[in-house]
Amino acid sequence: MKKVIVLLLLAVTGYYLVISFMDLGKYGPVVETGVKDFYLEKTVSELHVANTITSIIVSFRGFDTLGEVTVLFLAATALGGILYKRRHDVGGRSVLFPSSSIVKSGSKLLFPAIILLGAYVFIHGHLSPGGGFQGGAIIATGFLLMLLAYDNFSVSHNVLSFIESFAGIFFVLFGLAGMMMGGTFLENFMPVGKLNDLFSGGIIPIIYILVGLKVAAELTGLIYTVLHEKEN
């Protein structure tokens, strides 16, 4: 009997899915004459940014990005809230055996290089592939390497939360400043400069640097929390 009910429910759901997909209409022509040309044209002529994807993410759909960053922040907060209790009396991390001296000294050498690469990726987000999210993730992998190599490596949660809230507050403040100067949230109110320059694109590089810092701090906190969880 249960199976029959489940089958009936599935059939009804499938029927309504098919009906609602029928209503969507034709797909092709809408894309060809849609917002694509607008984005491609305005990116170069108005914002003077070489990377169209960055201009869409940070400028045209900047409010979306603020939402994405908030989602990441909420996920990190929830994980910290679940795991924090078990952690505060544990000093180091429980490991089967300590890593060898080759790994330790090697990761000490590689750590600054990884941080530098991450910073490069999010500073050049408006010129080359990559951007805030990618650069932040690269920086977090650097911290992951150090945490794996040294079982007593610790990251200050005060510094992490300061960076995170600093970046988040300034993201919103830049958006509100655009509202005051131009009229819309995240309006590009700064001088846009020359195409393909490092200092070009108005507030786009600034926003992306803030996003990079925020993502790096969040992911580092996540990794630290997960590694130091002790099951008992």
Partner 1 sequence: MSLFEIIGGLFIVLGSIFLFLGGLGIFRMPDVYNRLQAGTKATTLGAMSVIFGVGIIQLENDWTWLLKAMIILIFIAFSNPISSHALARAMCKGKAYPFIKSKDKDINAYKEFIDNQKMEEE
Residue 223 CB-half CA count within 13 A: 24
Instruction: For residue 29, give the amino acid letter.
Output: P
How many residues at the interface with partner 1, by CB under 8 A? 11
- Minimal distance in Å, beta carbon 134 to partner 1? 17
- Minimal distance in Å, beta carbon 223 to partner 1? 17
- Minimal distance in Å, beta carbon 113 to partner 1? 6
- Report d(CA 76, CA 38) in Å as an integer: 36
b/e per residue, 44-66, with b = 16+ CB within 10 A?
eeebbbbbbebbbbbbbebeebb
- Minimal distance in Å, beta carbon 24 to partner 1? 44
**Residue span 125-164 as binding mask against partner 1, x where in contact by CB under 8 A, dash where not:** ----------------------------------------
Q: Which of residues 171-210 bind partner 1 (CB under 8 A)?
A: none
109 binds partner 1 (CB under 8 A): yes
Contact call for residues 122 and 208 (beta carbons, < 8 A): yes
Contact range with partner 1 by CB under 8 A, out of 29-37, 92-100, 152-160, 177-185? 92-100
* Spacing of C-alpha 94 from chain mean position: 30
Closest CA to 41 of 52, 31, 32: 52
Please, which residues have CB within 8 angstroms of residue 216's CB and are 6 or more apart in sequence?
118, 135, 136, 137, 139, 140, 163
Comparison of 104 and 230: residue with beta carbon closer to partner 1: 104
Which one among 13, 77, 94, 100 touches partner 1, defined by CB under 8 A?
A: 100
101 binds partner 1 (CB under 8 A): no
103 binds partner 1 (CB under 8 A): yes
The residue ranges that bind partner 1 (CB under 8 A) are 96-97, 99-100, 102-103, 106-107, 109-110, 113
